[in-house]
Amino acid sequence: MAGAGISTPSGIPDFRSPGSGLYDNLQQYDLPYAEAIFEINFFHRNPKPFFALAKELYPGNYQPNLTHYFIRLLHQKGLLLRMYTQNIDGLERLAGIPPKMLVEAHGTFATATCTVCRRNYEGDDLRPDVMSGTVPKCPTCTGVVKPDIVFFGEELPQHFFKYLTDFPLADLLIIMGTSLEVEPFASLSGAVRSSVPRLLINRDLVGPFAWRSRRPHDVVQLGDVVSGVQALADALGWTQELDALMASAAEKASTKTEE
């Protein structure tokens, strides 16, 4: 399970950190309140603030960091059952984690849907409009095309409910970079069997880890998330493999940039 804290090392501001969080930096959009930018009713009235923010967050502006590649390494070793992420930045996909191994609980920019005729689009279809500051419109019906991000007031994607079968099968739950404040995502931390170890790699104690009734197998690594994941990779003897994976990805990224 992961939240915005795994993406802040890539340069993406998180949603709640005072002074640096996205909510604190939304004043320029003249919103009635910060959360309105992710409320579906407000979006239908005025989609411009969301698309101004989408220009900043759109996949391709940022690169994955060590935490994303650690999860990719878990997958390559056949150890990843699933990654549940709150993030909409697409860095998991960019790190090479296959979409079938991901549950993007709050949606994705990878696909989009017309809000009127429900025609489906690829996220890349919207990129020229988003990057030029234009609200994307459906050529079929002229409705606004919205990335498949889950807004307040919308239902979670159907595949979120994979947790009903995934979590009882897990033999370890790693929780990284999340405040565990947004439901129903936050409650997933309690969905594994009580005998299953849970490892929190986070800046602060959150959710059940902050309660007195912690489970006996809970383990906490507080501090910088990247340092915590690096320490885990070191303890597992995976540092060389992780470094090689990141070096290979950096080389591919630079080749792509040159092209």
Straight-line distance from the first to the last Cα atom of the chain, in angstroms, rounded to the nearest whole number: 35
233 Cβ contact list (under 8 Å, min separation 6)? 66, 70, 73, 239, 242
User: What b/e sequence results for 110-129 when a residue is b if at least 16 CB atoms lie within 10 Å of its CB, and e otherwise?
Assistant: bebbbbeeeeebebeebbeb
User: Are the CB atoms for 57 and 26 separated by under 8 Å?
Assistant: no
Query: Cα–Cα distance between 219 and 215 in angstroms, integer?
Result: 9
User: Are the CB atoms for 114 and 141 separated by under 8 Å?
Assistant: yes
What residues act catalytically?
106
2: number of Cβ within 10 Å: 24
**Which of 203, 217, 234 is CA-nearest to residue 73?**
234
